[in-house]
Structure 1
Amino acid sequence: MAKIIRIHEHGEPSVLRVETAEVAEPGPGEVKIRQEAVGVNFFDTMLRDGRVNGPLPMVLGSEGSGVVEAVGPGVADIHVGERVAYFASMGAYASERLIDASSLVALPQDISNEQAAAFLAKGLTAWMGLRALHDIAPGEVVLVAGASGNVGSILSRWAMALGATVIGVAGSRGKLDKVRAGAHHAFHSQDPEALTKIRAVAPEGVDVVFDFVGHGTAELTAAAVRSGGKIVAIGAASGQLQTDALEVTRRGIEVVSGGVQDHVNTATVGEASGQLFQAMRDGLFHDLRVSRYAFTDVSRAHADVAARRLTGLPVLRV
């Protein structure tokens, strides 16, 4: 019997229930995985509390890693005993699960299951921003709104390694130390002088804004980017980014967005994951720690995510 974490209603972290379930043998194109680590994302908390609609009952989570226990008919390139991970397949909060073989990424020997669960989805989201939505170039000045968040922290460090000057913006003064660790300049959005300080670094405006916050930073985002620049809207922690369409058009600003599944797919996942794993080997994220939780302690993990108490990338150890 597998352990699964399911919600039957929306609400506080207490609605997360640890249950048991039988896992069938894999069907055509499927693989059965014994999981060792499961990633926890802010989006999981939005599904749990109902800010994002989803069918109930629901097994949360979309990223994890483990060992292949069985393969179904038609699966030729994945083998029993192989270590694999995935980043966009619902139903991750489980000790064992079935998954479509096409969703899996084979793990190199030097990337642990825990590292994969912590970094794969967040790192590939950062890759999408830096390579698919905007192909960053050395010498560019970029602003990262939400730079203290998990994906923002990864993207900021990666952008620096690629030769960009990074301005990190946090939501409050208390998060500035975390932002400074991965950016050349750090400001917080509640500072009335934030825009003036950003313009002191980039007098004409930044070349590109990576916005993980959305509605709460829309005004600062639009004012900080140069005419002819780009706004890359990836997250919406405070609601969807809303820009003045007429002003954006007048200034020639390009606004782009997208989901990781749209840009990291069969054609690109090898390149994207390979670049992410190499960045990890190169130590780009060496100071980003993992916050470990026991699988049955999922309610505390969700409470810490919602309250912004995390000290690292959250992972459930199965």
Structure 2
Amino acid sequence: MAKAVRIHETGGPEVLRYENVDVGKPGPGQVRLRHEAVGLNFADTYFRSGLYPVPLPAGMGVEAAGVVEAVGEGVTNVAEGDRVTYTGFIDTLGAYSTERVIAAAPLIKLPAAISFETAAGMTMRGLTSAYLMRRIYPFKAGDTILLHAAAGGVGLIVSQWARLMGLTVIGTVSSDAKAAVALAHGCDHVIDYSREDVAKRVRELTDGVGVQVVFDSVGKSTFEGSLDSLKRRGLMVCVGTASGPIPPFNPQILAMKGSLFLTRPALADYIADPADKRELADELFGHIAAGRIEIEVNQRYALEDAGQAHRDLESRKTTGSSVFII
């Protein structure tokens, strides 16, 4: 039988169960998909913990790559035998599985030059990086950004993409080892936030001006320092809450710190239009196939070891991308 990791209650990694599942046949607008590799994302821990509430029992994971084994009535975007990848949110929940039935709409055909493992390690991170680089702000060569978690999966892609665009990247990390990784992948400067004042160091590196944009995936513990790192009329992009949700605040603080802008974007809203998704995916896949952007898959797990994978992720032991090999 097919296998899947599911939860019957919310909580820590111990609630993840490796179970037999009956997949069945695809209905209208659906496909049956055999997974080859499944992505591990920090958002998965939010579903598991209950921060993102879903009806229980529930599958885990929103990103994977594999082969279409059967198609239901009305499916036109993919065919049996196609290599595909996907990412999403509630609509794709259940990726931690060997096989599944899934709506065909989220599926993206995968170029032959990109492996299943690479795809599972970068579809969410890569499309996130794509919209951050190409849709959030009108970057021009010479602009400077502050990138938190620069040695993480999104961080490594954003820093490489930013280098291609001629941007200066100041990355934050939590160790010397992660600093070396960030510098090797496009960061011009790194700040160890465990022992340095990020905003103060940013001001030193920018001659007191600050940066045009901050990409902050950490949240609660970095929010104030991120605002203090921006130049006048700079943009704060809240892309995650790894340290916890950002506490409520008075928007007047944005005026007091330089008429700042703030956005909390979600990938789903930037790939909701199929044409937008295709354009971003094509640019992303083109960079990867040409070797201009490298995807670092640094952790590999068996599906039954999902609990350990979540522990490693939450303890910040990982760098780059992590995948389950099916």
Q: Which moved more, 1:49-58 or 1:228-237?
A: 49-58
- How far, CA to CA, are the matches of 1:156 and 1:83 in structure 2? 28
Equivalent residues in 2 for 1:55-204, closer than 5 Å: 55-88=55-88, 89-171=92-174, 175-182=178-185, 183-203=187-207, 204=209
Q: Is the 8 A contact 1:60 1:91 kept in 2?
A: yes
Matching residue of 1:245: 251
Q: Is the 8 A contact 2:122 2:153 kept in 1?
A: no
Matching residue of 1:23: 23
Q: Is the 8 A contact 1:232 1:256 kept in 2?
A: yes
Q: Indicate yes or no: 2:262 matched with 1:255.
A: yes
Shift of 1:172: 5.1
Deviations 1:87-134 (A, max 9, x none): 111110111111111110000110111111011111111112111222
Name the TM-score, length of structure 2 as normaliser.
Answer: 0.92
Shift of 1:193: 4.2
Question: SS at 2:222's partner residue?
Answer: helix
Name the TM-score, length of structure 1 as normaliser.
Answer: 0.94
Shift of 1:67: 0.6
Q: Indicate yes or no: 2:299 matched with 1:294.
A: no
Shift of 1:58: 1.0
Matching residue of 1:224: 229
Shift of 1:277: 0.9
- How far, CA to CA, are the matches of 1:262 and 1:147 in structure 2? 24
Q: Is the 8 A contact 1:210 1:231 kept in 2?
A: yes
Q: Share of identical aligned residues, percent? A: 38
- Give, as a single letter, the amino acid of the residue that structure 2 aligns with 1:258: P
- How far, CA to CA, are the matches of 1:104 and 1:285 in structure 2? 22
Shift of 1:196: 2.9
- How far, CA to CA, are the matches of 1:101 and 1:152 in structure 2? 29
Shift of 1:287: 6.7
Q: Is the 8 A contact 2:61 2:94 kept in 1?
A: yes
Question: SS at 2:70's partner residue?
Answer: strand
- Give, as a single letter, the amino acid of the residue that structure 2 aligns with 1:248: L
Question: SS at 1:45's partner residue?
Answer: helix
Shift of 1:187: 0.4
- Give, as a single letter, the amino acid of the residue that structure 1 aligns with 2:267: V
Shift of 1:197: 2.4
Q: Could you tell me which runs of 5 or more consecutive residues in structure 1 were left unpaired when the two chains were aligned.
A: none
Q: Indicate yes or no: 2:270 matched with 1:281.
A: no
Number of paired residues?
318
Matching residue of 1:304: 312
Q: Which moved more, 1:111-120 or 1:302-311?
A: 302-311
Shift of 1:249: 2.6
Name the Cα RMSD after superposition. 1.8
